[in-house]
């Protein structure tokens, strides 16, 4: 088990490169049924302010398979929705729970929670990052290509949470990352800078508005919704702006012949990805979704150890 006892995962960069690689190996071994770690009596809390299918269910099933229990604490059923301060909630839940996964808007909120709680705090998606998603993505890419180093991943669309964590995760494992999206929707420059530093010369980052240039030689095409949770009112206005970045058969043809397609899901067919590509031979989206459970089981076992 990777030695992450008691640790938080607020950003993918909270892990060292070795810890990330060990976590991926451990996840693959758990998936293969090589270990059966058990944490009876341990309780995971899911503190979510946003909707979730995969993250909620994969965390829950992972925890049950580890012999633990789960409390689904959506903000609406707690005093969180009535404005109890994060610092108070954190100190109280710290005394009941063994580990907590939080899905919210502001990265500062999970940082504050972690500052006030001694139990491991896991980022289950913020507006800034989605580290658990990228653990599953890297596991999926590793399964497909055997090794990660030297591969090129191209992300098409909005440069927000998933793109940010991909930048960090790919940089850590020595993959090249291309991000293509419309002007005004590029990733946070601070994250791009951090990714460049993490690469230590073992790859490159390309930020561009040109989708065709971005997919050239890529082994992995990746996309996400054009309007994220909290941006629903912008959806109509974003549609025409993001249209050139749709992952369709024509764009896929311009990538490397062995290219696979990933999507964190939920998908909007006909917008960021076509039905044909989602259901086509290059799609690995269902394996990717399954891998959320294996990757998070590895993470839970490592922080609870």
- Binding residues for L-ornithine are 161, 224, 228-229
Catalytic residue among 8, 49, 98, 103: 103
User: Is 107 within 8 Å of 164 (Cβ atoms)?
Assistant: no
Establish whether 133 is a catalytic residue. Answer: yes
Min dist CB 195 to ligand CP, Å, is 21
Buried b (16+ CB within 10 A) or exposed e, 71-91: bebbbeeeebeeeeebeebbe
Establish whether 264 is a catalytic residue. Answer: yes
Q: Which one of 15-23, 84-92, 94-102, 259-267 is the stretch in contact with ligand CP (CB under 6 A)?
A: 259-267
Whichever of 10 and 199 has its CB closer to ligand NVA, that residue is: 10
Using CB under 6 A as the binding rule, whether residue 126 contacts ligand CP is answered as no
Min dist CB 2 to ligand NVA, Å, is 25
Using CB under 6 A as the binding rule, whether residue 161 contacts ligand CP is answered as no
Min dist CB 147 to ligand CP, Å, is 25
- Summarize as ranges the residues that interact with ligand NVA (CB under 6 A): 125, 160-162, 224-225, 228-229, 264
Using CB under 6 A as the binding rule, whether residue 133 contacts ligand CP is answered as yes
Distance of CA 254 to the CA centre of its chain: 26
Site for ligand CP in 263-292 (CB under 6 A): 264-266
Catalytic residue among 133, 142, 246, 288: 133
Using CB under 6 A as the binding rule, whether residue 53 contacts ligand CP is answered as yes
Q: 303 phi and psi, to 5 degrees?
A: -80, -25
Place of tokens 């965390």: 59
Which of the listed partners (ligand NVA, ligand CP, none) does 136 bind, with a CB threshold of 5 to 8 Å by partner kind?
none
Establish whether 36 is a catalytic residue. Answer: no
Which of the listed partners (ligand CP, ligand NVA, none) does 224 bind, with a CB threshold of 5 to 8 Å by partner kind?
ligand NVA
Whichever of 132 and 199 has its CB closer to ligand NVA, that residue is: 132
Cite the active site residues.
103, 130, 133, 224, 264, 292
Task: Provide the binding-site residues for ligand CP, judged by CB under 6 A.
Answer: 52-55, 125, 133, 264-266
């Amino acid at each position: 088990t990777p030695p992450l006892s008691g640790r938080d995962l607020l950003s993918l960069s909270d892990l060292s490169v070795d810890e990330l690689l060990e976590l991926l190996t451990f996840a693959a071994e758990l998936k293969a049924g090589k270990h059966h770690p058990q944490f009876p009596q341990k309780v995971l809390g899911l503190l979510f302010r946003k909707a979730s299918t995969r993250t909620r269910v994969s965390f829950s099933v992972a925890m049950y398979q580890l012999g633990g229990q789960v409390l689904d604490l959506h903000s609406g059923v707690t005093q969180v929705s009535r404005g109890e301060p994060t610092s108070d909630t954190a100190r109280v839940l710290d005394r009941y729970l063994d580990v907590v996964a939080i899905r919210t808007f502001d990265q500062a909120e999970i940082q504050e929670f972690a500052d006030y709680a001694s139990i491991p705090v896991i980022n289950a998606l913020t507006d800034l990052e989605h580290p658990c998603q990228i653990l599953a993505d890297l596991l999926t890419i590793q399964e497909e290509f055997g090794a990660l180093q030297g591969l090129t991943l191209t992300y098409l669309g909005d440069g927000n949470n998933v793109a940010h964590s991909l930048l960090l995760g790919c940089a850590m494992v020595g993959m090249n990352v291309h991000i293509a999206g419309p002007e005004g929707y590029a990733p946070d420059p601070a994250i791009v800078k951090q990714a460049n530093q993490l690469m230590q010369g073992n790859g490159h980052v390309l930020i561009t508005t040109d989708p065709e240039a971005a997919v050239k030689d890529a082994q992995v095409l990746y996309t996400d919704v054009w309007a994220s949770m909290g941006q629903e009112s912008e959806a109509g206005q974003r549609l025409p702006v993001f249209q050139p970045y749709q992952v369709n058969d024509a764009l896929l043809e311009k990538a490397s012949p062995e290219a696979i397609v990933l999507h964190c899901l939920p998908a909007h067919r006909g917008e960021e990805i076509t039905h044909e590509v989602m259901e086509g031979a290059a799609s690995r989206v269902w394996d990717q979704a399954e891998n959320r459970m294996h990757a998070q089981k590895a993470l839970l076992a490592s922080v609870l150890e």
